[in-house]
Amino acid sequence: MATNTTVVADHNAPAVTQILAEFVATHPSKGWSDAVDHEAHRTFLNWLGCAIGASDHAAARAALAAVNMLQPAPQASIAGRKDRVDMASAALINGITSHTFDFDDTHLKTIIHPAGPVASALLPLAEHIGSSGREVIDALVLGIDVACRMGNTVYPEHYDRGWHITGTTGMLGSAAACARLLKLNTQQTAMALGIAASQPIGLREQFGTMTKPFHPGGAARAGLMSALMAKHGFTSSGKALEAPRGWAQVVSTKSNWNEVTGELGKRFEISFNTYKPFACGIVIHPSIDACVQLREQGVKAEDVERIELRVHSLVLELTGKKEPADGLQGKFSVYHGCAAGLIFGRAAEEEFDDHIVTREDVVTLRRKVQATVDNSIREESADVTAFLKDGRKIHVFIEHAIGSVQRPMTDAALEAKFHGMSDAVIGADKTNALLKACWNLGQATDVHALTALTHA
Amino acid sequence: MATNTTVVADHNAPAVTQILAEFVATHPSKGWSDAVDHEAHRTFLNWLGCAIGASDHAAARAALAAVNMLQPAPQASIAGRKDRVDMASAALINGITSHTFDFDDTHLKTIIHPAGPVASALLPLAEHIGSSGREVIDALVLGIDVACRMGNTVYPEHYDRGWHITGTTGMLGSAAACARLLKLNTQQTAMALGIAASQPIGLREQFGTMTKPFHPGGAARAGLMSALMAKHGFTSSGKALEAPRGWAQVVSTKSNWNEVTGELGKRFEISFNTYKPFACGIVIHPSIDACVQLREQGVKAEDVERIELRVHSLVLELTGKKEPADGLQGKFSVYHGCAAGLIFGRAAEEEFDDHIVTREDVVTLRRKVQATVDNSIREESADVTAFLKDGRKIHVFIEHAIGSVQRPMTDAALEAKFHGMSDAVIGADKTNALLKACWNLGQATDVHALTALTHA
C-alpha cells in the first residue's frame, strides 16, 4: 500500500474530556429552549419507531440468540419484543434494530445517527434504575451533544478514512448519557468518557451487512458499561479524548477543538437532527423526493420514456447499484429509490421489500432512470427531469429534500412514519398510546408505562 | 493540529479474511511441532498466573461491580475469584486481571500481549460448553496466530499512531479462538472475524490507568461475542480485514499482507511469545537484568556511588519517571526498576508495591541511577556501569534480556513466577496442583478440574 503520512501531534488541545464531563454532570435539567426539548422528543419517538419496526429482523434474532447464550437476567425490555434481557444486552439489541432499516435520525453535519447509540442504552438503564422521563430527555440531549460535537471535531477526515462515525462517536454519547442518568459527578463522568474513548466501533466496509447496525448497538452497550464501570471506580485517562494518543488524534488527522467548546451549553447539536422520510441512505433522498413530486404532478410510470438525474458524486459512489437483487441492495440503488418514489409516492421500509425490488413494473421503471454526476449539484440537492413518451419534459429541482433541517418532517409525518413501522408489530391502538407516551416523556414519573407499550 | 496526509487505498489485497477463516476452521488439531505445543502450554500457564495474581486488584473489583449490576448468570469461573459470572463477563475480567500487573506475555515483534485477549475468552467458553483441553490449546495457538499476524501486518505504524495493539488485534484473536472452540465452519469464522474487526479496543493514552488492562479484557469479550453472533447467523463483510475501508487500512497506513499469508500453518507466532521475569514494561527489562547481574557480581546498594545506563530512546520516552510516587508509577521508572534489581535481585509484583517504591534505601539508590540515550543501543539491550565508592567500576552489557526469545525463562522459572503470584491467593498446594493441570491441559478431557483449582 502506498503511504505518505506526516502527522504532527497536537499537545495544546483544550481539556476537552474535563470540559465535556463537567457539562454533562452539571448542566441544569432542561437547560435549553422549548424547541430543543421538543426536538429531543421527536428524536426519541423516531428512534423508538425504527427499533420496534425492525425488532423481528434476522439481525435482531441472531444477536438475541447470541445474547441468550449468556442466560441474561430479565432486567429490561427490548423495543418491539416480549423478551427481557440484562440492560446492556437490551442496549445492544435496541441499537441494532434502530439502525437496521437505515430509517433512523441523521445529524447532517456529520451523518451521525445519534439516537441509536444514546437512546438504545438510556431506555433500558432508565427502566432498570427507575429514572424519570425528564432525566431521560436531559440525558438524551446531553449525550447526543457529546457524540455530535466529537463528530464535528474529526469530520469529515475521520469518516473519509473509513470509520462508521455513528459507532465511533456513539460510545461517547452513550457513556455521557448513561453517566448523567446514573448521576455520576464530573470526575466519574470524565472516567466514563475515557473508558468509552478506547472503544470506537465501526468500519464502513461493513455497509450492506448486519454489522452496520451492530455499530450503534455495540456503541450503546460500550457506553453504558463504561458508565457503570466509572460509577464503581474504574479509572481512565482524564485526557482520553484530546491527548496526542487519545481518541481524536488517533482516529483522525483532523481535530477542530472549537467544535467541542464553541457555544457549549448554548447551541445544542440535537437541534440539527433530522429524520428520514425514506428508508435508505440520505444521499438519495433528494432524488426520491423529486420523483415523489413528479408523481404529484401527474407523471405515471407507464408514461415515462426515461428519467434523467443530475446528482452529487456521492450518490453514485454510495448508491449506484443498477440491478439490485433484493431489498437490502435496493437501499443502495438510486435507480430503485426513484422508481419507488414515482410508483408509490413513498419509499418507506415496505418499498424496500424483496418482492417490491424485483416486481416487474418497478424493475422496468428503474431501468429507465439514468444518473450522471454534476459537480455543480450539492449533496443535499438533485436535478431530475422526466422525459415522457408523449414528448413532454417535466423538470424538478430539489434544493433540500424533505426531512432536511430546512424542510423538516412535521410531527404528524413522524407519527405516520411510526405507524408504518409499529402497527404491524404492536397494533395501531397500542401504537397510538405509545406515541402519546413518547410526546409526554418529559413529564413521566418513570418510563415503565412507556416500555410496557413497546411490545405486543 | 497540523496534518499532511495522503493515503492511497490498496484495492489488491489478498483475501485475508477468508484465508485466515479457512485456516482457523480447518487446520488439523495439533498441526504443529511439539515445541509449538509446549510453548502454548507455557503461554497458558503464564497467563493464568498473572490473572490469579491480580484477581483482587481494585481494577478487577470495579469491573466486577459493574458486571454485577447486570445480574450475570453463574456460567463460568473468574481466575482467582470465587465469583461466577456469564462467560462473556468472565472473559472481560480475566483479560483485565491478566494485564493489570504488566507481567503477562509479549510477542516481541509487535509488543502484543497475545494471551490476554485470547485465553481470557477461551477458558470461560470452554468451561461453559465443555470443551476438551486439547481443543483449548488448539484454539489458543490459532487465535494467537491470527492476532499476531494481523499485528505484524500493521506494526509499527499502527502502534506509533497511538493504538494499544494488544486490544486492537486481540479481538481478532479472541474471535478466531472462540470460533474454533465453537466449531464454526469457514464461512461462519469469516463472519466472526468480520464482526470483531469493527471493534478495535485501545488507546495508548490510557497507559497508567485501569483502562490499559481493560483493553485485553474488552477485546476478549468482543471476540467471544463476535463468535457467538456468527454462530447464530449474524453477518459481516467477508473482506472486513483487508478491504480499503476494512480493519487494516483504516487503523493503519501500513499493511504488509505477506505477514498474514507467509508460511501460514507452518510458522506459528506463538513460537515467538515471551514471558516477563519483571513486572513492568518490556523496555526496561535489559536495564533491570543488568542490575540483577551486578548484584550477582557482589555489588551492594550501599557501595554504589552512581550507576550509569546507556539505553535506547524508548526507555526514557516510556519509563523516564524519576520520582515515582507509588507502585504504578514505579512501573514507568527505569530508575526504580534498576534499584529493585540491585537491591532485591528481582522485580516481580512485590517490588512494585507502594511501600517498596517509597522505601528509603530504594529511593536513595534510584537517585544514583543516571540514564542517557545512546542511539547505538538497540531496544532489547542495555549498557550499564556501576561506579562504586571504592573507585571500582563494574560494567555489564545485556544484549538480550532474560525472558527474551534468545534467553527464554525456563519452565522452572515460569513456575516460580506463578507461585509468586498465586500462592497468596489460592495457597501453595493448590498452586502446585494447578501448575500440573496447566502442563497437562492438552490431555485433559475438559477444563473443569483446572478451573476448580483457580480460586481459593
Residues 6+ apart with CB under 8 A from B44: B115, B119, B136, B137, B140, B438, B441
DSSP letter, residue A303:
G
Q: Looking at chain B from residue 178 to 207, which residues have their Cβ under 8 Å from any Cβ of chain A? A: 194-195, 197-206
CB contact under 8 A, A211 and B235: yes
pLDDT score at B328: 83
- Searching chain A, which residue's CA lies closest to the CA of residue B85? A70
Residue B123 has a pLDDT of 98
**Which residue in the set B6, B198, B211 is minimally distant from A236, CB to CB?**
B211
Under DSSP, the state recorded for B187 is H
C-alpha–C-alpha distance, residues A244 and A266, integer Å: 28
Question: Is A229–B66 a contact, with Cβ atoms under 8 angstroms apart?
Answer: yes
Shortest Cα–Cα distance, B247 to chain A (Å):
7
Most B CBs within 10 Å, among A161, A229, A258, A329, to test the B interface: A229
pLDDT band at B3 (very low <50, low <70, confident <90, very high): very low
3-state class (DSSP) for residue A274: strand
How far away is chain A from the Cα of B213, in angstroms, using its nearest Cα? 10
**Is B210 an interface residue toward A (CB < 8 Å)?**
yes
Place of cell 411510526: A418
Which of A332, A342, A346 has the alpha carbon at shortest distance from A280? A332
Reduced to 3 states (helix: H, G, I; strand: E, B; else coil), residue B183 is: coil
**Is residue A194 within 8 Å of A244, Cβ to Cβ?**
no
For CATH 1.10.4100.10, list the domain ranges present in chain A.
16-276+434-452
Q: How far is B285 from chain A (nearest CA, A)?
A: 24
Backbone φ and ψ of A115, nearest 5°:
-70, -35
Distance CA B421, CA B277 (A): 12
pLDDT tens digits, one per residue of B117-150:
999 999 999 999 999 999 999 999 999 999 999 9
Contact at CB, B205 and A244, closer than 8 angstroms: yes
Which residues belong to CATH 3.30.1330.120 in chain A? 282-398
In degrees and rounded to multiples of 5, residue A187 shows phi and psi of: -65, -45
* CA atoms of A332 and A334, how far apart (whole Å): 7
Could you list the mean pLDDT of each consecutive 10-residue stretch along chain A, which spans 456 residues? Answer: 54 96 98 98 98 97 98 98 98 98 93 97 98 98 98 97 98 99 98 98 96 98 98 98 97 96 98 94 93 96 97 94 92 96 93 95 97 95 98 97 94 96 97 98 98 96
- Torsion-angle region of A130 (φ positive above 0: left; ψ -120 to 50: alpha; else: beta): left
Instruction: State which H helix or E strand residue A388 sits in.
Output: strand A382-388
CA distance B127 to B84: 11
**d(CA A396, nearest CA chain B) in Å:** 35
Q: Does B211 touch chain A (CB under 8 A)?
A: yes
> What is the grid cell recorded at A430?
397500542
In 3-state terms, what secondary structure has residue A29? Answer: coil
> Among all chains, which residue has been given the C-alpha cell 447532517?
A108
* 3-state secondary structure (DSSP) of residue B54: coil
Which value, in Å, is the radius of gyration of the alpha carbons in chain B? 22
Residue of A nearest to B7 (CA): A3
Q: B-contacting residues of A 59-78, CB under 8 Å?
A: 59, 61-63, 65-66, 69-73, 75
- Residue B84 distance to chain A (closest CA, Å): 12
Which amino acid does the sequence have at A444?
A
- Nearest C-alpha in A relative to B215: A198
**Is some CB atom of chain A closer than 8 A to the CB atom of B412?**
no
Pairs of CB atoms within 8 A across A/B: 239
* DSSP codes, B122-153: HHHHHHHHT--HHHHHHHHHHHHHHHHHHHHH
In degrees and rounded to multiples of 5, residue B384 shows phi and psi of -125, 130
Q: Residue A5's pLDDT is what? A: 45
Of B201, B206, B250, which is closest to A203 when you measure between CB atoms? B250
Q: pLDDT tens digits, residue range B277-300?
A: 998 888 999 999 999 999 999 999
Of B245, B307, B260, the closest CA to residue B18 belongs to B260
Q: How confident is the model at residue B429 (pLDDT cuts 50, 70, 90)?
A: very high
**How close B371 comes to chain A (CA, Å)?**
25
Q: What gap in Å lies between CA A267 and CA A144, rounded to an integer?
A: 12
Q: Which helix (H) or strand (E) holds A310?
A: strand A304-311
Q: Is B86 in Cβ contact with A205 (below 8 Å)? A: no
Interface contact flag, B218 A197, Cβ < 8 Å: no
CA atoms lying within 13 Å on the CB side of residue B304:
28
| Segments in B241-359 forming alpha helices (H) | 247-251, 258-261, 285-296, 313-319, 327-330, 334-344, 354-357
Residue B4 has pLDDT above 80, yes or no: no
Q: What angle do CA A13, A15, A16 make, to 5 degrees?
A: 90
Q: For chain B, what percent of residues have pLDDT higher than 90? A: 94
Which ipTM score applies to this complex? Answer: 0.93
B236 touches chain A (CB under 8 A): yes
Strand ranges in B74-214 using DSSP code E only, listed in sequence order? 76-78, 81-85, 105-107
Please answer yes or no on whether B237 and A209 come within 8 Å at the CB atom: yes
The candidate with the shortest Cα–Cα distance to B125, out of B455, B453, B451, B407, is B451
How many Å lie between the alpha carbon of A278 and the closest alpha carbon of chain B? 24
CA distances to A107, A112, A165, B2 from A152, rounded to whole Å, are: 10, 10, 10, 17
Cβ contact, residue pair B198, A214, below 8 Å: yes
Contact, B92 vs B225, CB < 8 A? Answer: no
- The answer to whether the CB of A418 falls within 8 A of the CB of A49 is yes
- pLDDT at residue B6, rounded to an integer: 47
- CATH, range B282-398: 3.30.1330.120
pLDDT digits (tens, 9 = 90+) for B360-410: 999 999 999 999 999 999 999 999 999 999 999 999 999 999 999 999 999
Chain A residues closer than 8 Å to B217 by CB: none
SS3 A11: coil
For the domain A16-276+434-452, what is the CATH code?
1.10.4100.10
Q: pLDDT above 70 covers what percent of chain B?
A: 98
CATH 1.10.4100.10 range(s) for chain B read 16-276+427-452
> What is the C-alpha to C-alpha distance for residues B145 and B163, in angstroms, rounded to an integer?
20
Identify the H or E element spanning A222: helix A211-231
A 135-164 residues inside an 8 A Cβ radius of B: 157, 161-164
Confidence band, pLDDT 50/70/90 cuts, at residue B9: confident
Nearest to B251 by CA among A207, A148, A201: A201
Q: Which long-range contacts (CB under 8 A, 24 or more apart) does B395-398 make?
A: B396/B290, B396/B293, B396/B294, B396/B297, B397/B290, B398/B286, B398/B287, B398/B289, B398/B290, B398/B293
CA distance A280 to A259: 28
How many angstroms away from the CA of A73 is the closest CA of chain B?
6
Quick one: pLDDT at residue B1?
A: 34
| Nearest alpha carbon to residue A384 among A284, A314, A303 | A284
CB contact at 8 A, A169 and A148: yes
Q: CB–CB of B5 and A7 under 8 A?
A: yes
CA distance A99 to A60: 11
CA-nearest residue of chain A to B256?
A: A1
How many distinct helices (H) and strands (E) make up chain B? Answer: 21, 9
Instruction: Give the distance, in angstroms, between the CA of residue B137 and the centroid of all CA atoms in the same chain.
Output: 17
A13, A243 Cβ separation under 8 angstroms: yes
> What nine digits make up the cell of B122?
477461551
Q: Which three cell numbers stand for residue A298?
A: 401527474
DSSP state for residue B75 in the 8-state scheme: -
Q: Domain B16-276+427-452 in CATH: superfamily? A: 2-methylcitrate dehydratase PrpD (1.10.4100.10)
